[in-house]
Structure 1
Amino acid sequence: MLKMICLTAALGLALGSTATAADLTFDGRTARADTAADGGFRLQSVGQTVAIAAQPMRSRTDSVLFDALFALAQQEMDADRVDAIRDPAFNQGNPVPCDCFQTGERWPYVWTRDVSFAADLALARLDPQRTRQSLQFKLSPARDGHTPGLFVAQDTGSGGSWPISSDRVVWFLAARHLQDDPAFAEQTWQALQATLAQDRAAVFDARIGLYRGETSFLDWREQTYPDWTRQDVRFIGDSFALSTNVLHYQALRLAEQLARARGDARASQYAGWAAALATQIDARFWRDDAGMYMSYIGEAAHPVPYAKYDLLALSLGVLADVFPADRARRALAAYPAVEGGSPVVWPQEAQQPIYHNRAVWPFVSAYSLRAARRLDDAARIQREIASLMRGSALAGSNMENYEMRSLSVHVDEGALSGPVVNSPRQLWSVAGYLSMVLEGVFGVEADGTVAPKLPTALVPQLFGTRRSIELDDGQRRYILTRPRTLDGDLLVAKKIVRRGNTVTVHLVAQAAAGSAEPRPVASGSATAYAPATPAAPTPTARGTAWSIPIPTNHVLWRDGRAVTAASPLLLSDDGYQHCLSFTRREGALESLHSPTTCIGPQQRLRGSTTWNWTATKATRVRVRLRYDNPNGPINTGVTAAVKQLVVQCPGQPAQRASVVMPHSVGPQDSTAAEFDLPKGRCRFALEDGFNMSALAHFATYNGGKGGRDGALNQATVSALLIAPIAATDGDAR
């Protein structure tokens, strides 16, 4: 009871008491809403007045501000409806006809992950036809005319796009809501088969049991990955991200569902893949000392844990039910909160500007709200609703992102100023706000079920002295009636009465077993920032051993595991390659990993397409290519070179694996492939693969190579690097 009173008091200070429910004050700034004669609203925030027209859906609460912000989100959704899209990197910047949703005021195009997350949050239920058309814009056949299949396009991105970035399967998170249209359902099924098969071949690591590739949405590498990835994204393409793996899990479950509906025998295969993936997600990303799931882990050669956590990945995992219930509750409760809400990553990087780092993103807050509802976490529900309202009200728009302490759209800190990029009426922010009202407050799900989980802390703001509040979505009225007593921290449905188009939900207060106050951290405190990333280990050969000095407060990691040893550590040369890195410890905080240093035997075989190598005994080997790919900048493009490495050994069928050579700054190493070889001579050959420039979708791309001038999947290969490795290192567990 005391906890509920404290939360209510805190909310009253932030959002206004019932006497001033039209006002919101936060960080010394105030927003106020008034009703207008035409049934709309007028929002006055910092230095601006926003006129809000009457909208098809209306909420009626004791808070004029709440009702006005709901109308504002609808108005901004309508403004994002367009009949043509444009981007300077496509079609020479000329309009492309498309009855679509554009990404935001500053981003008048359709991007795969943006529209997909927005559709999953709210757009698929509110405007299914336009949402389908937006999603269809991101489907593409190959442009060579003979490669079969329909594929989801991975947008331009790190190192030349897919498969360094491999979260395009988020498209299926949205498409699953729109299967009532037969033509679109067939397109979804075709795209699932081709895209999943391609990803299984190119980014799935059978030994680790996970899909490789960049974190979903967190695609400005040094904002969340170590700074040494700024000019070398090979590690990102070799590593494993929680969010991207959860999205693959969801795509596999949809494939299972659609295959069963069609009587396709592959349903059991998809189900098996999904179940195995869920097991590995829980086993490999859980970090017990932090009580959270890590945002990403290292590559198969060195699968180290990383002390980086992200709210979208955590929320997606909760919603996909891939985490055990006790760990899910513990992880969401352990995820820190700051003054402005829940930051999208934790901890922050002191030398990075504000963007993903030190920021709140409304669409991620909306997913966190969904996850909190799934776990009956009243405190997190309340915090996310408050954060979404504050950001929208004070900015006068549903912005792309905010600085995490003040929820400002820009903070001037010299080189660290930010958010570096921002846009009003950002589509997924708009969708997140709509989701917050429909689901987060009124409990109305996309399938028509009604299951409110409303924190009692919100009663003074939303009900005031009213007996009920209501939502009119244009087809039905949903009325929530408050209970006489508020002797719990969560209001849930006691009885639901349906009469005609009116649904009345009688609420009752209960204690929320999963509720825990989010771990508060002052945004400017030392505990909000990770220690600086250390330099790489510097082994020195000493006869048949390696001497490795370990600096004070550093932890040495070998082949994915921490090593407890005095400095210097002596490692015997056992004939296998071993990989090393450092992290730095400062109190309870741990840095990101240093660059990786590998020791042990490695042979360099000169050549560009074929190589011969003789094994003196049966062994597992790790193989990389030495290459140069100058076909685009590190941060964008569609020309990551993707090849198939084929190994033919005596008495064995050919083995195949994909290797990726992302855009580079001079010569560097490719992603790795591993093979089990018998004794004797084996032949390695490089064959062509498939990258995003092969899709017809990119035929109008003019922002770099691989577009208007034709597909491009090339890199200059100078050598094959081959190293024997211990057969048990990193095996799936």
Structure 2
Amino acid sequence: MATPSIIYKDLLFQPHTGANGLPTVEMVDESAGGARAYELRTDRPLRDEFPPDGRIRIAEPEAGPRCRSGSMRFDALYAMAVQEARQNAVSRVSDADYAHGKAFEADVYQTGEKWHFVWTRDLAYALHLGLALYDPERAMRSLRFKASELKACVEGGFRHQIVQDTGSGGSYPVSTDRVVWALGAHQTLCCLEPAQRTAWRAEIFPFLRDTIEQDRRLIFDEADGLYRGEQSFLDWREQTYPQWTADNVLAIAMSKALSTNAAYIFMLETTSACARELGHPAEQERYASWARELREAVNRVFYDADEGLYRAYQLTESGECTLPVKRYDLLGQCLAILFDIADEERARRMLARYPVGRYGPPVVWPQEADVPIYHNQGIWPFVTAYWLKAARKVNNVAAMDAGVRSLVELAASNLSNMENFDFVSGLAHVSVGERVGPVINSRRQLWSVAGYLSLVHEVVFGFRATEEGLRLEPTVTAWMRRSLFARSAHMEIRDLPYQGTVNDILVHLPPVAEFSSAVARCVRVLVNGTDVTGRTLSASELSPRNAWEVFLDASRGDTGDTPDGIVLTVNERNGIYSPPAPEWDDAAGAVRPEEGRLRLSFTQPSDPRIVVDIFRDGQVCAHGITQGEWVDPDSGAYREKIYSYHLVSRHLHSGFTSHPTPGRSTRSAGQSVRIPVAQMSSAGGQRDEHGSLERWGRPDDVIDLRGVRVPRTGRYAVRVEFSNGSGPINTGITCAVKRLEVLAQESGAVIRSAHVIMPQSGSWDKYALSNSLLVDLDEKAYYRLRLFEDPLSRNMSYLASNEKYTARAGGGDSCYNFVNLAGVHLSLINASQDQ
């Protein structure tokens, strides 16, 4: 690919040199009860220049978990994570969008030093990574904060809903990853005592069930068996989607994301298990079968055999055709491994194939040179923690070592578990020329804190709390033994809570000189003197306080899975950036008929190493185009069929491809019909001077159009022309949702119906088209169109938890589902050959 314009060779990490070659740590106090206080120091540039003197004091609690590993740095960083978890445990929360920015009482986990609110995905992933273990009661309260019944004014069923946070285009159903709530709810369940567990299962089940049932009717696509919506966590449009989605989020709403669908599999299986325990066999089988079908669909649609990875998403602009993209995200890969979506062979290949840099793996691949650093070109420790869990599952020692190194070094060098880092320099903030970022960052970010705790508890000490009970299987690699734990014959963690018990764990390490395998094996486990090797223990088998002893052996030559992987050195000779995308030449007609074929006109990057690939209706139809025009030899039927084209740049050396351009097609006058709303019968709204309807969308508002005819028999895309200025494109809770029906006028039978999604755009003057309802129509027949609100036409303003929302429309005790309407478009896709 093209040489990056900004080179980071002068920013490569040069850590403060202490005795261990990393930021220094000193024990400055120790109480009679053994609780230590540490001082961590670094000379690395710090985000916001805080703390200004480059040092921080960390105090272990007198009553609470503490680690003794022989490495003061490792012990201090664990103490820092415990301390930051406690700092994020608050009694009041606030956010500028809620309660006019005023704080209100909530005994929950906040999101980070800068983010004083509870957000669904941050909380859920943090609890799933292990934060639920520390304070299950607070975990439950936090999860309740992100679950809601419908407002009293809302009619209909499925009244228990998980909250989708404010987001792209007005949140749900553009953003749909609220289902990750199930991860946190399930891990909390695993940490509760039996009586609490039964009550918690009964409490969460209605929210899991009703959210599934709502989503099945609104965002599930029966055509490919996947759920629509934005990627989980990667929620800043142009950061990971094509640049043109910055002001056109409908494509995000209609696309399908790997991470969100992977989370949905976990949600379905968790709900099925709850149904089994609660005695609901029909729902148990229903959700289990849906999970099996979804797992098959994810493998069929997302897996890229050439790359050995799962694609991050499938792009669909309006629902008419789907475009595969060569974009990959780390969280999606990890969830596919951890939730057994990928089989063992694929899982091993994925861990070996996903690129890793000096400071850890980036959350997306490849990077965009002209996009600010955040998700793009970013390392996020919580995702690294998931990568580490995935590496442990498939026994990829190289990936485990890289993950541990990343989490330890970045936490130590920044004196906090930061939200994110620049992938190239490893800094929490970098400014070199036009490359600035990460553009947003916070200290003690909740899921980063949880990610570090996961490293210590689940990976190193092997402390795993499941529904079946507690199991200990520590993981210590040869590198970890030599680099982290070389000064001690054992490591210990004390006062670790589990279901009302307190646990002290002592791990006996193999001597460094005898460490002949890549990773040590757990050969014996004792609890209170009883051998429980290989067993999972229920809480009833434990004492109020338990002494665990674990013996590791590294003499048996276990090499683990240690592929070389793709380890990057970032410099002029090693590209990480995808090429810039081509652009349609609209002045030349972009896609136009010429001598019985379609000619495409576009501009492309001037670099001779970059070529253009052309997609027709989602499939590659031309490779390696080097000129700015191309005639499609197979487009002779353009009068009968509408072809949709996308362009993608491809770098000949790196093989990286750009994001796709927006789709382009051409239609003659007889291939599209626009019916202005002025010709329609309407209930509700107010007509403006142009005949359009303003503020239309109350629950009883209806648009009714009779006598609709099409010029040719064939398949049509029916789309609503609307504007939604109720909020900006990047946040809010008022993405409009309505039901569109096409009926046979004579019989009144519904031929086809679907929900139409009309996202916020930031302006009432900006009209756009909704997603498409695809329907076969006969030129000889008369049809009727109806647009109305059915019981499932809901957005997040319908949730009682958003009564406190005060930033813009959607708060209070009423709902907001309003748009301006200009008309309805019926566009031919494919003419019938039987005319």
Aligned match of 2:77 in 69, 84, 100? Answer: 69
- The match for 1:457 among 470, 479, 496 is 479
Please say if residues 16 and 23 of structure 1, whose CA atoms lie closer than 8 Å, have aligned partners that are also in contact: no
Q: Which residue of structure 1 aligns with residue 808 of structure 2?
A: 704
1:499 is aligned with what amino acid? Answer: N
- SS, match of residue 490 in structure 1: coil
Q: Does 1:50 align with 2:56?
A: yes
- Which of 573, 576, 586 matches 1:528? 576
> For 1:545-567, what per-residue CA distance to the aligned partner results, in whole angstroms no more than 9, with x for missing partners?
42224767100001111013773
- CA deviation vs aligned residue, 1:47-100 (integer Å, no higher than 9, x gap): 422111123112211210000000010001011111110111100111121110
Q: Which range moved further: 451-460 or 373-382?
A: 451-460
Against the structure 1 CA distance between its residues 524 and 375, is the aligned structure 2 distance closer, same or farther, given a 3 Å change threshold?
Answer: same
Aligned partners of 2:130 and 2:187 also within 8 Å: no
Q: Which residue of the other structure, out of 68, 81, 88, is the alignment partner of 2:96?
A: 88
Q: Match for residue 7 of structure 1?
A: none
2:243 pairs, out of 227, 246, 250, with 227
| Distance in structure 1 (CA, Å) of the matches to 2:383 and 2:77 | 18
Aligned counterpart in structure 1 of residue 507 of structure 2, from 476, 480, 490: 480
Determine whether 1:99 maps to 2:99. no
Amino acid across the alignment from 1:152:
I
In structure 2, do the counterparts of structure 1 residues 215 and 122 end up closer, same or farther at CA, with 3 Å as the change threshold? same
Q: How far did residue 708 of structure 1 move?
A: 3.5
Secondary structure at the aligned position of 1:36 is classed as: strand
Q: Helix, strand or coil for the counterpart of 1:397? A: coil
Structure 1 residues 727 and 190: CA distance shift in structure 2, 3 A: farther
- Structure 1 position 540 matched with structure 2 position 592: yes
Tell me what 1:317 maps to: 336
User: What aligned pairs does 1:293-692 form with structure 2 within 5 A after superposition?
Assistant: 293-299=310-316, 300-447=319-466, 448-474=470-496, 475-484=502-511, 485-499=514-528, 501-509=546-554, 510-525=557-572, 526-536=574-584, 538-542=590-594, 544-549=596-601, 553-564=611-622, 567-570=630-633, 571-572=635-636, 573=638, 575-587=640-652, 588-600=655-667, 601-607=671-677, 609-612=703-706, 613-614=708-709, 619-649=714-744, 650=747, 652-653=749-750, 655-664=752-761, 665=763, 666-676=766-776, 680-688=781-789, 689-692=793-796
Q: When the two structures are aligned, how many residues end up with a matched partner? A: 709
CA distance 1:124–1:684, shift in 2 (3 Å): same
User: For 1:178-327, what aligned pairs fall within 5 Å after superposition?
Assistant: 178-179=188-189, 180-261=196-277, 262-299=279-316, 300-327=319-346
C-alpha separation in 2, matches of 1:188 and 1:636: 27
RMSD, matched Cα: 2.4
**Shift of residue 273 of structure 1?**
1.4
State whether residues 23 and 32 of structure 1, in contact with CA within 8 Å, keep that contact through their aligned partners in structure 2: no
- CA–CA distance in 2 between the matches of 1:491 and 1:308? 36
Counterpart in the other structure of 1:41: 38
Residues 324, 610 of structure 1: alpha-carbon distance in 2 compared, 3 angstrom cutoff = farther
Task: Using the TM superposition, give the Cα deviation of residue 574 of structure 1 relative to its aligned residue in structure 2, in angstroms.
Answer: 5.3
Contact 2:168 2:175 in 1 (8 A): yes
Distance change >3 Å, CA 259–CA 614, structure 1 → 2: farther
* Corresponding residue number in structure 2 for 1:169: 179
Q: How many Å separate the matches in 2 of 1:463 and 1:204?
A: 49
Against the structure 1 CA distance between its residues 568 and 470, is the aligned structure 2 distance closer, same or farther, given a 3 Å change threshold? same
In 2, the alpha carbon distance for the partners of 1:583 and 1:33 equals: 54
Q: Secondary structure at the match of 1:307?
A: coil
C-alpha spacing 1:31/1:360, structure 2 compared with 1 (3 Å): farther
CA 725–490 in structure 1, closer or farther in 2 if over 3 Å, else same: farther
How high is the sequence identity, in percent, across the aligned residues? 34
Q: Which amino acid aligns with 1:37?
A: E
Structure 2 residues without counterparts, runs of 5 or longer: 1-12, 44-52, 190-195, 497-501, 530-545, 605-609, 681-702
How far the C-alpha of 1:177 sits from its partner, in A, is 2.4
Match runs of 1:102-113 below 5 Å:
102-113=110-121
User: Are the equivalent residues in 1 in contact too, given 2:71–2:487 (CA < 8 A)?
Assistant: no
Which residue is 2:162 aligned to? 152
In structure 2, how many angstroms separate the alpha carbons of the residues matched to 1:683 and 1:523?
A: 60
Unmatched runs of 5 consecutive residues or more in structure 1 = 1-12, 729-733
Gap change, CA 1:616 and 1:568, over 3 Å in 2: closer
Instruction: Give the letter aligned to residue 682 of structure 1.
Output: Y
- Farther-moved stretch of structure 1 (467-476 vs 162-171): 467-476
Per-residue deviation at 1:288? 2.1
The 3-state SS of whatever aligns with 1:674 is strand
Residue among 108, 130, 138 paired with 1:122: 130
| 1:22-33 → structure 2 map (5 Å cutoff) | 23-25=20-22, 30-33=23-26
TM superposition shift of 1:654: 5.3
CA offsets 1:242-297 (integer angstroms, 9 cap, x no match): 10111111111112112222224122221221111111111111112222111111
Please give the alpha-carbon distance, in whole angstroms, between the structure 1 residues aligned to 2:598 and 2:208: 48
* SS of corresponding position for 1:604: strand
Amino acid of the structure 1 residue aligned with 2:649: R
Return the alpha-carbon distance in structure 2 between the equivalents of residues 584 and 524 of structure 1: 22
What per-residue deviation string (whole Å, max 9, x for no partner) do you get for residues 168-221 of structure 1? 011111111234444432231111121111111111111021111111111111
Report how far residue 580 of structure 1 moved.
Answer: 1.1
Q: What SS is found at the alignment partner of 2:177?
A: coil
| Comparing 156-165 and 694-703, the one that deviates more | 694-703
Deviation at 1:512, TM superposition (A): 4.5
2:519–2:560 contact (8 Å) kept in structure 1: no
TM-score (norm 1): 0.92
Q: Offset at 1:138?
A: 0.9
Counterpart CA distance in 1 for 2:224 and 2:614 is 22
Corresponding position of 2:4:
none
- Code of the residue aligned with 1:196 in structure 2: it is I
The aligned counterpart of 2:686 is none
Q: What is the distance in 1 between the residues matched to 2:564 and 2:641? A: 49
1:342 positional shift: 0.8
- What CA distance in whole angstroms lies between the structure 1 residues aligned with 2:440 and 2:197? 37
Q: Aligned residue for 1:719?
A: 823
Contact 2:716-2:828 within 8 A present in 1 as well:
yes
Decide whether aligned partners of structure 1 residues 598 and 583 sit closer, same or farther in structure 2, where only a CA change above 3 A counts: same
Deviation per residue, 1:704-726 (Å, 9 max, x gap) = 21123842111112222223445
Q: Which amino acid aligns with 1:671?
A: N
Q: Partners in 2 of 1:524 and 1:623 — Cα distance?
A: 50
1:676 Cα deviation from its structure 2 partner? 4.8
Counterpart of 2:672 in structure 1: which amino acid? Q
Cα deviation, 1:107-157, whole Å, max 9, x if unaligned, reads: 011011111111111121211000110010111111125443111111111
Q: Which moved more, 1:607-616 or 1:69-78?
A: 607-616
Tell me the distance in 2 between the aligned counterparts of 1:236 and 1:125.
Answer: 35
Higher gyration radius (CA) = 2
2-side partners of 1:142 and 1:124: how far apart? 27
